[in-house]
Amino acid sequence: MHPQSMVFCRRFTPLFSCERQMTQRMIEITSPVFIPEERLAADPGLTRLFGAERPLALEIGCGIGDFLIQMASRRPELNFLATDIYNKGCLKTCRKVEAAGLDNVRVVRLEARHLLEHHLSPGSLAAVFINCPDPWPKKRHRRRRLVNADFLALLRQFMAPGGELYFSSDFEDYTADVAAALATLPLWHNCHPLPYLPALESYPISKYMRRFLDQGETIHFLHWRLEPAAAEGELTAEPTVLPAWGRAVHG
């Protein structure tokens, strides 16, 4: 199991997905909203996944889908692809999407970097949402955090010119590190004057976030945009494929 597949809740005992898998059987997801990897592989460009062609947004680590439902309802002009490695979370997300009757959402259960490298086209993402990724709070574990300079360099190759990145974390140092890493990458532009914000106007709040907010904690938000200049050949035609997780990528 890759270390990134552990699932954390702050101030609660970390719950490891391998433990979950030992105690819980994998539940097959038969929802029409759920896209097994074989279907993704058979549809390069993802043109047949959604009911209609619209710019593509990606949510990484959608959890149980409560942010996704709110955001996809508010932004019907976008198609939303949501991924999480958590089987039961994907199942709950699919059920919510079906109950809400949203035709602009599809769910996959794939590790985020695998999804990017193997199934998405460079320059295809109009928006990316990453909310409260596993924080790896211990200093010696911080290198395991998903969103770091290498990940951002990889992600950047898949962003459309003008594409928007939203990030939030209940850990201020995580948010500050992501902001600092973005600032070193060319063409990324902070949409706000402050390095990070305690709130983003009309940004949906997940149950996970709500729990911290209700305890008087702060969620820290980022909203950055990739400058449209990226259209003029700045982005590489082919993504740099990471030979192993965590290796450096120079996008």
Report, as residue numbers or ranges, the catalytic residues: 134
Interface segment toward ligand SAM; rule CB under 6 A; list 41-49, 84-92, 172-180, 225-233? 84-92
User: Looking at beta carbons only, is 135 or 161 nearer to ligand SAM?
Assistant: 135
Nearest to 155 by CA among 176, 178, 175: 178
Quick check: 108 binds ligand SAM (CB under 6 A)?
no
Four-point Cα dihedral 139, 130, 82, 145, nearest 10:
-20
Quick check: 72 binds ligand SAM (CB under 6 A)?
no
- In the three-class reduction of DSSP (H, G, I as helix; E, B as strand; rest coil), residue 171 is classed as coil
User: Looking at beta carbons only, is 111 or 150 nearer to ligand SAM?
Assistant: 111
Judged by CB under 6 A, the residue of 89, 123, 163, 239 near ligand SAM is 89
Interface segment toward ligand SAM; rule CB under 6 A; list 22-30, 38-46, 78-86, 152-160? 78-86
Judged by CB under 6 A, the residue of 174, 196, 208, 224 near ligand SAM is 208
Please, what is the minimum distance in Å from the beta carbon of residue 110 to ligand SAM? 7
Interface segment toward ligand SAM; rule CB under 6 A; list 1-9, 74-82, 157-165, 178-186? 1-9
Quick check: 157 binds ligand SAM (CB under 6 A)?
no
Quick check: 170 binds ligand SAM (CB under 6 A)?
no
Contact 165, 226 (CB under 8 A): yes
Footprint of ligand SAM on residues 117-156 (CB under 6 A)? 131-134, 146
In 61-210, which ranges are E strands?
79-83, 105-108, 125-131, 159-169, 188-190
Nearest to 1 by CA among 18, 14, 20: 18
Distant-in-sequence contacts of 234-238, Cβ < 8 A, 24+ apart: 234/186, 234/187, 235/122, 235/123, 235/156, 235/157, 235/159, 235/161, 236/122, 236/157, 237/122, 238/122
Sort strands 220-226 and 125-131 into parallel, antiparallel or unpaired: unpaired
Contact 190, 103 (CB under 8 A): no
- In the three-class reduction of DSSP (H, G, I as helix; E, B as strand; rest coil), residue 98 is classed as helix
User: Looking at beta carbons only, is 73 or 162 nearer to ligand SAM?
Assistant: 73
Quick check: 65 binds ligand SAM (CB under 6 A)?
no
User: Looking at beta carbons only, is 67 or 188 nearer to ligand SAM?
Assistant: 67
How many residues can be counted in the chain? 251
Quick check: 163 binds ligand SAM (CB under 6 A)?
no
Quick check: 29 binds ligand SAM (CB under 6 A)?
no
- In the three-class reduction of DSSP (H, G, I as helix; E, B as strand; rest coil), residue 64 is classed as coil
Q: How far, in Å, CA of 110 to CA of 114, rounded?
A: 7
Judged by CB under 6 A, the residue of 60, 72, 182, 219 near ligand SAM is 60
Judged by CB under 6 A, the residue of 33, 56, 69, 112 near ligand SAM is 112
**Rule CB under 6 A: which residues touch ligand SAM?**
4, 7-8, 60-61, 63, 67, 83-86, 89, 111-112, 131-134, 146, 206, 208-209
